[in-house]
């Protein structure tokens, strides 16, 4: 039976990226050594790092005055690194889900945090609008896509202060204007690569404006100076990111990813909206193209477990909703083929015919 991987992360990767990474584990580019055992200081790995950074910059059209870093610690460490490096007196945050809340919690260790908007009142089922960003804030932090609740900010916001974005789950899924952001970060394990590496895109002029001493490993300047290799980087994860970036470029780049993702999401959302038994959980103008969340209509709630078992029997993997939301979640990241979304649609239709 074919498996359809809707996991929220770590998630589906391009098959060619997996296959080429597996080959590199056995023998990297014919050098007679495994990717897992070469020195990160070797010319072989430096070439990998250089190409990964260059391709990332090319695909996202990152301006020349920005640095790209590949670090450890996940996006969760960035919740701390961002305020350590940027927070002077006050920071502004948009509260749109669990990960935004975790970022806010870390920032509060550094001083006054102003939450300029929140969708907590409706269990994060929409993106707040008409909020005011304080001009005296050191930076404004947003989480562009919310994997747990299935909402997404679809445009590049205008901000009077440096804009910082956690793009863990929608990076490379659509074109962005990087110049509107001072710093972008995220875990790789959605659209970029496997778990274990974190990307950071930052404009250097935002650094060096705080008076506090910053621990060496938490200082962005440390990693800029050493080209992401102050300490041993997550070599294997970076290599798989490179293979994924090559795949994206060969398919037509980020614009092509956006077209594919819109088509996949529209197909599944249309099915849910016209369903007898299911209903979406997020307001339509806030719906994520990456994480599609839905539940059973009230009169069919007793059939949730039956649908989960039915879907698993059809090869659907990872569709159980997060425990804080319940219901179902289909993550439709870049590497998920349209075939899998169609299989999910067919699964919903078949279950409805049998049970409604």
- β-partners of residue 184 are 165, 201
Counting residues of the chain whose pLDDT is more than 70, the rounded percentage is 100
Domains contained in the chain, number: 2
Of 50, 136, 156, 166, catalytic = 166
List pLDDT tens digits, range 212-268: 999 999 999 999 999 999 999 999 999 999 999 999 999 999 999 999 999 999 999
Same domain for 197 and 117, yes or no, is yes
- On whether residue 6 sits in a domain, the answer given is no
Same domain for 52 and 138, yes or no, is yes
Same domain for 205 and 307, yes or no, is no
Same domain for 110 and 56, yes or no, is yes
Q: Domain ends where: 194, 225, 251?
A: 251
Question: 86: buried, middle or exposed (CB in 10 Å: 19+, 13-18, 0-12)?
Answer: buried
Same domain for 277 and 225, yes or no, is no
- On whether residue 187 sits in a domain, the answer given is yes
CATH number at residue 290: 3.90.1150.10
| Structure confidence at residue 356 (pLDDT) | 76
| Structure confidence at residue 323 (pLDDT) | 84
Same domain for 245 and 269, yes or no, is no
Same domain for 244 and 279, yes or no, is no
- Is 99 catalytic? The answer is yes
| Structure confidence at residue 278 (pLDDT) | 97
| Structure confidence at residue 121 (pLDDT) | 97
DSSP symbol at 189: T
Radius of gyration of the chain (CA): 21
CA 47/CA 59 separation, integer angstroms:
18
Average pLDDT over residues 336-348: 98
Structural domain boundaries enclosing 297:
253-355
Same domain for 148 and 221, yes or no, is yes
Do 178 and 61 touch, CB atoms closer than 8 A? yes
CA 263/CA 337 separation, integer angstroms:
11
Same domain for 230 and 173, yes or no, is yes
- On whether residue 165 sits in a domain, the answer given is yes
- On whether residue 77 sits in a domain, the answer given is yes
pTM over 0.95: yes
Of 138, 170, 190, 320, catalytic = 190
- On whether residue 7 sits in a domain, the answer given is no
Under 8 Å CB-to-CB from 345, ≥6 apart: which residues?
Answer: 267, 268, 271
Q: Domain ends where: 217, 233, 251?
A: 251
Same domain for 289 and 202, yes or no, is no
Same domain for 218 and 84, yes or no, is yes
- Is 247 catalytic? The answer is no
> Hey, CA dihedral for 235, 239, 240, 245, is it positive or negative?
positive
List pLDDT tens digits, range 267-307: 999 999 999 999 999 999 999 999 999 999 999 999 999 99
List pLDDT tens digits, range 24-65: 999 999 999 999 999 999 999 999 999 999 999 999 999 999
CA 60/CA 25 separation, integer angstroms:
28
DSSP result, 42-96:
SHHHHHHHHHHHHHHHHHHT--TTEEEEEESSHHHHHHHHHHHHH-SSEEEEEE-
How many C-beta neighbours within 10 Å does residue 58 have?
A: 13
Of 99, 138, 170, 320, catalytic = 99
Average pLDDT of the chain, as a whole number = 97
Confidence class for position 23, pLDDT limits 50, 70, 90: very high
- Is 305 catalytic? The answer is no
- β-partners of residue 66 are 203
CA 25/CA 28 separation, integer angstroms:
7
pLDDT at 195 over 80: yes
Same domain for 126 and 266, yes or no, is no
- On whether residue 104 sits in a domain, the answer given is yes
Average pLDDT over residues 335-346: 98
Under 8 Å CB-to-CB from 26, ≥6 apart: which residues?
Answer: 34
CATH number at residue 142: 3.40.640.10
| Structure confidence at residue 98 (pLDDT) | 97
Angle (CA) 59-62-65 rounded to 5° is 155
Q: Domain ends where: 194, 219, 251?
A: 251
């Amino acid at each position: 039976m074919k498996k359809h991987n809707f996991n929220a992360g770590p998630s589906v990767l391009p098959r060619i990226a997996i296959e080429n990474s597996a080959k590199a584990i056995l023998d990297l580019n014919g050098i007679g050594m495994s990717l897992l055992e070469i020195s990160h200081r070797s010319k072989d790995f430096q070439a990998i790092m250089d190409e990964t950074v260059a391709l990332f910059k090319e695909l996202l059209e990152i301006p020349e005055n920005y640095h790209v870093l590949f670090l450890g610690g996940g996006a969760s460490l960035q919740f701390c690194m961002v305020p350590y490096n940027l927070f002077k007196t006050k920071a502004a945050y948009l509260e749109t889900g669990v990960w935004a809340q975790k970022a806010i919690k870390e920032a509060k260790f550094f001083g006054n945090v102003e939450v300029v908007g929140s969708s907590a009142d409706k269990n994060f089922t929409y993106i707040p609008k008409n909020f005011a960003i304080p001009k005296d804030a050191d930076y404004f932090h947003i989480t562009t896509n919310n994997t747990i609740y299935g909402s997404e900010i679809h445009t590049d916001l205008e901000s009077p202060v440096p804009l910082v974005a956690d793009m863990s789950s929608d990076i490379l899924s659509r074109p962005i204007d990087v110049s509107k952001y001072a710093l972008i970060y995220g875990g790789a394990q959605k659209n970029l690569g496997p778990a274990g590496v974190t990307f950071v895109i930052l404009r250097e002029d935002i650094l060096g404006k705080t008076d506090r001493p910053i621990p060496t490993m938490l200082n962005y300047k440390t990693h800029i100076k050493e080209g992401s290799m102050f300490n041993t980087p997550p070599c294997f994860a970076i290599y798989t990111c490179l293979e994924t970036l090559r795949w994206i470029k060969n398919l037509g780049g980020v614009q092509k990813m956006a077209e594919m993702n819109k088509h996949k999401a529209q197909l599944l959302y249309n099915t849910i909206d016209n369903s007898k038994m299911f209903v979406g959980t997020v307001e339509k103008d806030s719906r994520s193209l990456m994480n599609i969340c839905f539940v059973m209509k009230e009169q069919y709630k007793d059939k949730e477990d039956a649908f989960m078992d039915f879907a698993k029997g059809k090869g659907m993997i990872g569709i159980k909703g997060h425990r804080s939301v319940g219901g179902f979640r289909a993550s439709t990241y870049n590497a998920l083929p349209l075939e899998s979304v169609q299989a999910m649609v067919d699964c919903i239709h078949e279950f409805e015919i049998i049970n409604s």
